[in-house]
């Protein structure tokens, strides 16, 4: 199959083509053709590439080759249940084309050890699964490897890697990947791994700062433009976030707004909704109303009222205007309904906590980060990179832009 390495079975290439991956990118081919990752070495690999650049496909193909050549097992580790479920369904559909069995170890789901060739699991499940594989050659794929630096789950990731490196006597091939790895050289030395880093992003991302209705370049702080007066909201206590959302929605675009707390997401979603309600009633509302699929909004509202037994009071008010919030305080059913409605663009604005930045494949045209320098949680570099990674997604948006919103007192904060 052209555009894929010769060792990739045609059936697998067809499977990825069916998922919209018509051809591999040049950086992907560079990694896949690295001989040290294949027989006889089956070396370790750590690599960093931006969101939506195709990291996971590279890891899957390397693991596939090792599993087929050595007739061994693979473990795919994802930090979030939602992502693990999504990847399980995709991997199962593709790998079954070459008679390889993929099982999920997510929540209460599990399978006998002999019944699978690859497993998709969370970090906690991976730790126990790995104990069964210590003595044999196998593959361990860890996505979102930056979780290693998380204060809560990082030690468990370190324990898993330690088992794979030392207890197994290097019988386990380790493939680790992330969009944000600040100390790649040190990690590569620790893993005794080949390292690869690329900044290539198939969807252009423009990073900006907004202060007093003025957009500036995130690196130089140079003026880019002033937001149109058409969208300026008087007494906008949210540092202009409301009119940034209005500007995007008027263009038919979707917006993710990251806030530092659950309370902030609810407060902001309600404020934007109330502004939209006023705008709907004004003489200038035609463009805003036409950007919504009214029937889809009615369907979303109906689903919440009739399929979900208890609906949050604030959501009842914001949903009719195409706006929602998303945090761990909602039920699983509420969160999934919001995610699905945002993906099909029935909802245009979602205000979320930072967990949404890496827990769910939920791209948007525009990502707005409400300044968190003075909030309960300081915004760090890893979280920032995960957040802006939601802006733009290959095959779903042509470009993305990120705005970090702040007041003048934050603009030159060091």
What pLDDT, on the 0 to 100 scale, is given for residue 148? Answer: 92
Per-residue confidence (pLDDT) for residue 225, from 0 to 100 = 84
Residue with tokens 């040049």: 26
CB atoms within 10 A of CB 57: 16
Tell me which architecture the domain covering 10-197 has in CATH.
3-Layer(aba) Sandwich (3.40)
What are the two backbone dihedrals, phi and then psi, of residue 258, each rounded to the nearest 5 degrees? -95, 130
Question: Which is nearest to 388 in space by CA: 243, 207, 224, 149?
Answer: 207
Per residue in 38-75, pLDDT tens? 988 899 999 998 877 889 999 999 999 999 999 999 99
Number of continuous H segments (helices) and E segments (strands) in the chain: 16, 15
Q: How far apart are the first and last CA of the chain?
A: 52
The helix or strand, by DSSP H or E, that contains position 191, with its residue range, turns out to be helix 184-191
Distance CA 8, CA 194 (A): 21
Cis check: omega of the bond before 222, within 30 degrees of 0: no
CA 158 to chain centre: 22
Point out the residues of the chain with pLDDT beneath 50. 1, 374, 413-414
- β-strand partners of 255: 349, 366
Residue 95 is predicted with a pLDDT of 98
Structure tokens at 205: 């991302």
Specify the pTM: 0.82
Q: Encode 68-97: b = buried (16+ Cβ within 10 Å), e = exposed.
A: beeebbbbbbbbbebbbbebbebbbebbee
Distances (CA, A) of 199 to 49, 218, 235: 6, 17, 40
* 204-411 CATH choice from 3.40.190.290, 3.40.50.300, 3.60.130.10, 3.40.50.720: 3.40.50.300
Contact 255, 365 (CB under 8 A): yes
Show Cβ contacts of residue 178 under 8 Å, excluding neighbours closer than 6 positions.
48, 55, 143, 144, 145, 146
The CB-side HSE value for 282 (13 A sphere, CA atoms) comes to 11
- The owner of tokens 């006998």 is 112
Q: What's the pLDDT tens digit per position in 245-299?
A: 888 888 888 899 998 888 999 999 999 998 888 877 765 556 555 556 566 666 6
CA angle 155, 143, 19 (to 5 degrees): 160
Widest distance between CA atoms in the chain: 72
* Same-fold call for 10-197 versus 204-411: yes
On the 0-12 / 13-18 / 19+ scale of CB atoms within 10 A, 295 is exposed
The predicted structure's pLDDT at residue 390: 78
> Do 400 and 392 meet the contact criterion of CB atoms below 8 Å apart?
yes
CA distance 292 to 295: 9
Provide the 8-state DSSP code for 147.
G
Cβ pair 123, 115 in contact under 8 A: no
Question: Contact at 8 Å (CB) between 364 and 256?
Answer: yes
Q: Token pair of 123, please?
A: 């970090």
Half-sphere exposure at residue 101, Cβ-oriented, CA atoms within 13 angstroms: 10
Q: Could you tell me the residue ranges of all domains in the chain?
A: 10-197, 204-411
Computed over its alpha carbons, how large is the radius of gyration of the chain?
23
Q: Which of 258, 160, 197, 221 is nearest to 49 (CA)?
A: 197
């Amino acid at each position: 199959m052209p555009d894929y390495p010769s060792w990739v079975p045609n059936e697998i290439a067809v499977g990825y083509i069916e998922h919209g991956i018509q051809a591999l990118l040049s950086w992907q081919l560079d990694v896949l053709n690295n001989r040290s990752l294949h027989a006889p070495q089956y070396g370790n690999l750590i690599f960093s590439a931006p969101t939506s650049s195709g990291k996971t496909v590279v890891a899957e193909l390397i693991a596939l080759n090792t599993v087929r050549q050595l007739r061994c097992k693979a473990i795919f580790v994802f930090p979030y249940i939602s992502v693990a479920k999504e990847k399980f369904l995709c991997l199962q559909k593709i790998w079954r084309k070459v008679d390889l069995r993929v099982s999920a170890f997510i929540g209460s789901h599990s399978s006998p050890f002999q019944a699978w060739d690859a497993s998709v699991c969370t970090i906690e499940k991976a730790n126990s699964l790995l104990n069964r594989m210590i003595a044999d050659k196998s593959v361990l794929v860890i996505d979102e490897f930056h979780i290693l630096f998380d204060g809560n789950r990082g030690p468990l990731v370190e324990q898993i890697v330690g088992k794979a490196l030392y207890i197994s006597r290097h019988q386990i091939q380790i493939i680790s990947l992330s969009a944000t790895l600040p100390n790649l050289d040190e990690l590569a030395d620790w893993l005794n791994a080949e390292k690869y880093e690329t900044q290539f992003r198939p969807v252009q991302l423009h990073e900006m700062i907004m202060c007093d209705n003025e957009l500036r370049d995130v690196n130089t702080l140079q003026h880019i433009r002033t937001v149109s007066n058409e969208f300026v909201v008087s007494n906008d206590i949210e540092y202009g976030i409301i009119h940034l959302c209005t500007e995007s929605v008027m263009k038919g675009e979707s917006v993710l707004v990251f806030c530092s707390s659950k309370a902030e997401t609810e407060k902001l979603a309600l404020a934007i909704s109330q502004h939209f309600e006023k705008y709907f009633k004004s003489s200038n509302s035609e463009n805003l109303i036409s950007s919504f699929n009214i029937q889809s909004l009615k369907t979303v509202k109906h689903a919440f009222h009739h399929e979900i037994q208890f609906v949050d009071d604030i959501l009842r008010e914001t949903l009719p205007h195409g706006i929602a919030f998303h945090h761990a305080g909602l039920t699983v059913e509420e969160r999934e309904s919001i995610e699905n409605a945002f993906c099909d663009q029935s909802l245009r604005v979602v205000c979320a906590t930072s967990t949404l930045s890496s827990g769910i494949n939920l791209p948007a045209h525009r990502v707005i980060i409400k300044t968190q320098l003075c909030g309960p949680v300081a915004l760090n570099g890893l979280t920032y990179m995960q957040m802006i990674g939601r802006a733009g997604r290959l095959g779903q948006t042509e470009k993305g832009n990120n705005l970090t919103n702040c007041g003048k007192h934050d603009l030159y904060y060091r």
